[in-house]
Structure 1
Amino acid sequence: MNQTNKTSDVPMTMHEAPAQNPLRLGMRLRLSRQTRGMTLKALADAAHCSESLLSKIENGKASPSLPMLHRLVAALDTNIGWMFEESDGEEGIIFRAGTRPLIALDPLRRGEGISLERIIPYSPGHLLQCNIHHIEERGASAGPIQHAGEEVGYLLEGEIELIVDEKSFLLSAGDAFVFNSELPHHYRNVGKQRASIFWVNTPATF
């Protein structure tokens, strides 16, 4: 069966995808779509599904098939993990030192020697993403990348070269930056020690 046929999308079963609250999944899809400025019709067309079905999914009244979910996250330029990740912390407000997840970037996009310490968990209740980017000596991000949104950062330690729209900037501890995410951007550690950047942006994948 052609998985891109609009009539092929049936509700997922427990064997097809991880268990997930339909309302939570719908909220994440809607938030991701809205922050990218996409209409319901535009996303439905990109994911090869009906607008009415997508509306039901966003409202927690239906669940997508796994193939459809993959098409949705591809159209939104995000990933399956973000859709299924749970929020942690004391009532979702406090995230104690030493308990925050420290993860490598997506293997398809990661640079060398880079890990992310999540400050804000990926959640439908947050309009922002916030991580501390830890870049080992000679580490560099993959890129350049670009996406909808805005980026703000503060260099906690070390030295980095930030390249935005083919312009190079050397930053040291205490320096800050802000730029439109639609500008191609990437960075690398140019110092002799690990660099750490407190980085905030509107939702996007890294």
Structure 2
Amino acid sequence: MKKGLELTAAIPGEDDVQTANPARLGVRLRLARQTRGMTLKALSDAANCSESLLSKIENGKASPSLPMLHRLVGALETNIGWMFEESDGEEGIIFRAGTRPLIALDPLRRGEGISLERIIPYSAGHLLQCNIHHIEESGESAGPIQHAGEEVGYLLAGEIELIVDGKSFMLAAGDAFVFNSELPHHYRNVGRERASIFWVNTPATF
């Protein structure tokens, strides 16, 4: 597999914010917020904006100013470039090997020794999120985290410990799992080689 691409983007300016697709930007904000388990009130307080305005932004009915967007991104500990990333691929259907982004540290799933190979782009047009989680030896996700949705995974290689709602499960290549995303969950590599998990989850309802 070719080396993946780091998630980089030019820092957007005020004009970029004003011309951005409000619906896409709102979807990204809501996804980031709910993945981190934050309520509207918690994020609005952290970003020093009103809850009603944040709700309008998430629903595509308003656009944030650039300073507000920076505050929101800072509170969510995500990458401002991700908020403006466009869908990729041949007509949004095919995503070729070697062209998919490989994110060394996904800001939505903080941890050590983890990279995500994005199978499909985050987009309002998809009901699913799908990545391959690559976990280096002794790597582990931050957590536990919990959010809306459902998780499904298949261990492609290696050995991991999956902890869901305080219960520990040891998985080897070929094992699969499914659980409600609202249950606290995290994982770590317990083997002596890199582990890879094909991971699908449903994000919050758009």
Q: Give me the TM-score of the superposition, normalised by structure 2.
A: 0.73
Residues 1:143 and 2:143 are matched in the alignment: yes
Structure exhibiting the larger radius of gyration computed from Cα positions: 1
| Cα distance change of structure 1 residues 52 and 112 upon mapping to structure 2, 3 Å threshold | closer
What are the Cα deviations for residues 42-84 of structure 1, in whole angstroms up to 9, with x where unaligned? Answer: 8489633474796488446x53112333565678897634321
| Cα distance change of structure 1 residues 53 and 177 upon mapping to structure 2, 3 Å threshold | closer
* 3-state secondary structure, aligned to 2:191: coil
What are the Cα deviations for residues 69-113 of structure 1, in whole angstroms up to 9, with x where unaligned? Answer: 356567889763432111111011100011111112246853221
* 3-state secondary structure, aligned to 1:163: strand
CA-atom RMSD in angstroms: 3.4
Residue ranges of structure 2 left out of the alignment (5+ in a row): 1-11
Percent identity, aligned pairs only?
Answer: 75
- Are the equivalent residues in 2 in contact too, given 1:128–1:202 (CA < 8 A)? yes
Residues 1:171 and 2:168 are matched in the alignment: no
Pairwise CA distance, 1:185? 0.9
Match of 1:29 among 26, 37, 42: 26
- Are the equivalent residues in 2 in contact too, given 1:44–1:51 (CA < 8 A)? no
Residues 1:161 and 2:148 are matched in the alignment: no
Q: Report the residue type matching 1:131 in the other structure.
A: N
In structure 2, the residue matched to 1:129 is: 129
Residue ranges of structure 1 left out of the alignment (5+ in a row): 1-13
- Are the equivalent residues in 1 in contact too, given 2:79–2:107 (CA < 8 A)? no
What are the Cα deviations for residues 140-179 of structure 1, in whole angstroms up to 9, with x where unaligned? Answer: 1111111121111000111111011111100011111011
* 3-state secondary structure, aligned to 1:68: helix
Q: Report the residue type matching 1:141 in the other structure.
A: S
| Cα distance change of structure 1 residues 158 and 82 upon mapping to structure 2, 3 Å threshold | same
- Are the equivalent residues in 1 in contact too, given 2:106–2:115 (CA < 8 A)? no
* Distance of 2:169 and 2:57 partners within structure 1: 46
Pairwise CA distance, 1:25? 3.2
In structure 2, the residue matched to 1:63 is: 63
* 3-state secondary structure, aligned to 2:117: strand
Q: Which has the higher contact order (CA 8 A, sep 6+)?
A: 2
Shifted more, 74-83 versus 180-189: the winner is 74-83
